[in-house]
């Protein structure tokens, strides 16, 4: 949703900590696949004066990203493109850092999305460059009722440790990993809930919004009953050898 800084259970202070760990040099070229509203890429440019490209399939998100960067950074520093990140003709060995934060589905759907995203991103990064990837994981196996709602995109074996190990298996060096805590999850889920409730109340004749509200109410109940103890969100920093 546009009113969120980023569509993830990550606090502003946590994101600031993560961006500080990157320690990027001025002028490096950065790629953000599934950039959403562009906030992370904009903050990287503010902090390190990098240049970059953000790709997202949503026109609404790209329009918001362009709006957000006005007055904060020179428009020449970042290019936001409305496109399918999984099909875009990126140049290989072009970027010092590639990000894919909660958007691994841009490369493939299903249980292999995380692995496919890493495999597709590695050739885009220069030797010695960085990959920062965020995705869900399971703290414990999902029960049958929660699994019916969650789907198969995050299988039971997709744990936090397994997500780190996947990068290692693909030849990357793990440098850091972070996981969202309960407060970050609660803040994210309930803020999203308030946004959907308000929009549905303001537009009662919008059938799509009313259906989204119904789904959202089912999701928040499942989050309270099962998800809060089961679903995790991790951010993984790897270096290409």
Q: What is the pLDDT along the chain (241 residues), one digit of tens a residue?
A: 478 999 999 999 999 999 999 999 999 999 999 999 999 999 999 999 999 999 999 999 999 999 999 999 998 999 999 999 988 999 999 999 999 999 999 987 778 999 999 999 999 999 999 999 999 999 999 999 999 999 988 999 999 999 999 999 999 999 999 999 999 999 999 999 999 999 999 999 999 999 999 999 999 999 999 999 999 999 999 999 9
Instruction: Give pLDDT, residue 1.
Output: 47
Instruction: Give pLDDT, residue 110.
Output: 76
Decide if 7 is inside a domain. Answer: no
Decide if 42 is inside a domain. Answer: yes
Decide if 6 is inside a domain. Answer: no
Verify that 106 and 212 share a domain, yes or no: no
Nearest CA among 226, 139, 235, 237 for reference residue 180: 235
Verify that 83 and 103 share a domain, yes or no: yes
- How is 34-63 classified by DSSP, letter by letter? T-TTSHHHHHHHHHH--EEEEEES-HHHHH
CB proximity list for 53: less than 8 A, separation 6 or greater: 29, 30, 31, 32, 78, 79, 80, 81
Verify that 85 and 44 share a domain, yes or no: yes
Domain CATH number, residue 160 = 3.40.50.150
What residues are paired with 232 via a beta bridge? 137
Contact 108, 75 (CB under 8 A): no
128: left (phi over 0), alpha (psi -120 to 50) or beta: left
Verify that 171 and 202 share a domain, yes or no: no
Decide if 24 is inside a domain. Answer: yes
Please state, in angstroms and rounded to a whole number, the distance separating the CA atoms of residues 185 and 162.
21
Verify that 173 and 203 share a domain, yes or no: no
Decide if 226 is inside a domain. Answer: no
Decide if 199 is inside a domain. Answer: yes
Contact 114, 235 (CB under 8 A): no
Verify that 167 and 213 share a domain, yes or no: no
Q: Which domain holds residue 32?
A: 12-181+233-240
Instruction: Give pLDDT, residue 30.
Output: 98
How many domains does the chain fold into? 2
Decide if 80 is inside a domain. Answer: yes
């Amino acid at each position: 949703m546009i009113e969120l800084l980023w569509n993830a259970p990550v606090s502003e202070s946590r994101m600031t900590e993560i961006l500080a760990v990157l320690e990027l040099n001025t002028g490096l070229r950065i790629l953000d696949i599934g950039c959403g509203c562009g906030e992370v890429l904009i903050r990287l440019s503010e902090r390190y004066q990098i240049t970059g490209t953000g790709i997202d399939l949503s026109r609404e998100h790209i329009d918001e990203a362009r709006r957000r960067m006005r007055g904060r950074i020179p428009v020449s520093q970042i290019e936001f493109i409305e496109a399918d990140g999984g099909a875009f003709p990126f140049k290989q060995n072009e970027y010092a850092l590639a990000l894919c934060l909660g958007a691994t589905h841009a490369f493939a759907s299903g249980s292999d999305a995380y692995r496919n995203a890493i495999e597709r991103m590695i050739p885009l990064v220069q030797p010695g460059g960085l990959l920062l990837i965020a995705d869900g994981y399971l703290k414990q196996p999902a029960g049958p009722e929660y699994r019916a709602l969650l789907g198969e995109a995050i299988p039971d074996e997709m744990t936090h440790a397994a997500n780190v190990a996947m990068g290692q298996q693909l030849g990357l060096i793990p440098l850091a990993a972070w996981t969202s805590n309960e407060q970050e999850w609660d803040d994210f889920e309930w803020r999203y809930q308030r946004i959907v409730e308000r929009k549905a109340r303001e537009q009662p004749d919008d059938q799509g919004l009313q259906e989204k509200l119904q789904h959202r109410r089912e999701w928040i109940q499942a989050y309270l009953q099962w998800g809060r103890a089961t679903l995790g969100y991790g951010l993984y920093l790897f270096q290409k050898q």
